[in-house]
Amino acid sequence: MNILIALIPAVAWGSIGLVSGKLGGNAYQQTLGMTIGALIFSLGAYLVYQPVLDVKVFVVGIASGLLWSVGQGQQFQSMQVMGVSRTVPMSTGMQLVGNTLAGALLFHEWQTTREVTLGSIALVILIIGATLTSRKDPSSTTNDTRDSEVGRGMRILLVSTIGYMGYTVIVDWGQVNAIAVILPQAIGMLLGACIMSYGKKALGKATAKNILTGLLWGAGNIFMFLSIPKVGLAVSYSLSQCGIIISTLGSIFLLGEKKTKKEMVYVTLGCLFVIAGGVLLGYMKA
């Protein structure tokens, strides 16, 4: 049962790209709807846990949420440019690399030779995985307009990764309670989404529909915190990375993103490499 609880974040987060793709809307509508859903979920979590909120928690949480809105908004943009199957594993790999380097360089988490060795191996594995997922079959004759947009998509993902890194780094730096920060974080997420979507015709039916993605995100977030005491950080962290299998393969089979047989091999291997890198990082945190 504990393992099943630990798998919920992977299922919830791995489904976000698929659900948003099915619900439709532009990146601004998807981001705004998602943040509304996240705020609804965080209000429920606050009523259940009733954590202590002070000025520091609010400042850190809102700043974290603003940075998250940049990360998620740009990820949605990349999905529309390059597709879910290419964006999600690359984004996951880039986030893991970025956060690992931030932990090592900013917070000096790598203190021993073992940590430096395992961390370096994990980074190499993650980079290989992210590279494989974006690899194109040179013999492919399909003329997908997304193939010509890879460079633009990568630039968008770089901004997304910086936003996601800031979202987690600032919480680590602030040393605030993880449960207490959820509500202020959601407020910052909604505020950031409103700023980014101003003048972009972000309000509509698609916005309301995408509230569901926010509820999925909130469910994954809270179950991650619940699973850590039960199965440990290493296991819960590693299992959460398995969501890229759902989002990547689901986008191919459910959203109809076209891949050649060789590209399917690249994508599958890339996902496995990213998961392996995440597992190794989780093992380091044990």
- pLDDT tens, position by position, 133-165: 778 777 765 555 555 577 788 899 999 999 988
The DSSP 8-state label assigned to residue 148 in this structure reads G
In contact, 109 and 203? CB cutoff 8 Å:
no
d(CA 245, CA 10): 9
- pLDDT tens, position by position, 101-136: 887 888 787 888 888 898 899 889 988 988 887 787
d(CA 21, CA 16): 8
In contact, 252 and 85? CB cutoff 8 Å:
yes
For the cut 90, the answer to whether the pLDDT of residue 70 exceeds it is yes
The DSSP 8-state label assigned to residue 107 in this structure reads S
What token pair was written down for 201?
A: 């015709």
Question: Which residue from 182, 166, 194 is spatially nearest to 225, judged by alpha carbons?
Answer: 182
d(CA 80, CA 251): 12
pTM of the model: 0.83
Q: Where are the domains of the chain?
A: 52-136+145-199+231-284
